Amino acid sequence: MANVAVVGSQWGDEGKGKIVDWLSERADMVVRFQGGHNAGHTLVIGTETYKLSLLPSGVVRGKPSIIGNGVVVDPWALLDEITRIRSQGISITPDILSLADNAVLILPLHKKLDQAREAAAGSAKIGTTGRGIGPAYEDKVARRAIRVCDLADEQTLLFKVERLLAHHNALLRGFGEEEAKGDDLVSLLKGVAPQILPFSAPAWEILTESRNAGRRILFEGAQGAMLDVDHGTYPYVTSSNTVAGMAAAGSGIGPSAVGYVLGITKAYTTRVGSGPFPSELKDGVGQALGERGREFGTVTGRARRCGWFDAVMVRQAIKVSGINGIALTKLDVLDAFAELKVCTSYDLDGARIERFPSSMSDQAAVKPNFETLPGWESSTHGARSWADLPANAIKYIRRLEELIDAPVALLSTSPQRDDTILVRDPFAD
């Protein structure tokens, strides 16, 4: 049985929550390997809706779950989320949830700096969620971050806070913000430590033991490939690697542990925040997609920008993430349209290209070339077999497979977990 990594193949918001929940029932362990509480997964189980940001989706199924070292963790946000999910009847204890002891903490000053920089940037802002994700990752690579394990060592904590503030207070002064006080920060961290440390564990060791025991591991990513700090629409990206390669590094296990990569792919395209979006629709069709798809961010509540399916972008994401197959989501949102369009290539300065360029100016300049396909104007909502799908819906799916050079492994036709057509079980590879 293969271990499976689940990643987004667009700009996030592809519907990973439902698919991960569907897969987690078949998994023995679920691992979140990057990002922070800027990403949200919505799980609908019966009549209950769970909104998760930091917690791996496996917790709602009672599966052992790990927040890996590749995640940056706001300890107060994590505790709030645990409290909220517990109030919905889910037991979350250290027997269920492990937090990598080498994961980096997001601090109040990170959030303050994040928001100050966005405000100062004006129209040139990146469009972050303002939750301190980027500044925390910056501290990580600059080797001045405070990690989970530091909460257990007061002398190390004092040393690291002093070193951290030498950098951050200079930045805060530059933005005209009040400086952070070391005593206040230490007091906050000492206060939260007793609640966080019971979850702290060497995640890599747990994963090694689980793999040796033959347990099926599900690696859960956040955001999407086009928000990857290396491979996305830089600088309008997140601050971590969102491609499948991060599943290994962000969990503490070798890349050979990942046997199958599943790319979650929406049947059209959406994006939150600033940055290029070649197939974006700023007309009534785009508005209709947003309304039918209820396109509002799980974490921020911001309306998502909507457009036609961009096969160029998804094909590139499939290559850089090594995606073996896709889970196509929200097909039912397209039910009302008489015709559909798919972006098959771009025009850049009069030349046709079939890749998403790296240059910021080129990304902004590309124009989509569309292929028009017939719609089906009948319901696919809740379909659970190919026989339930209209012929034109099947033709649409097959054409997408050809254009992105990857097969559909799963097809989702509603937020309900059982409204899923299984073509190929990722765990069986």
Q: Which positions are catalytic?
A: 13, 41
- Amino acid, res. 95: D
Q: How large is the C-alpha radius of gyration of the chain? A: 22
Residue appearing with tokens 């080129």: 362
Nearest to 148 by CA among 187, 183, 184, 194: 194
The residues with which 341 forms a beta bridge, in sequence order, are 372
**Per-residue buried b or exposed e for 356-382, using 16+ beta carbons within 10 Å of the residue's own CB:** bbeeeeebeebebbeeebebbeeebee
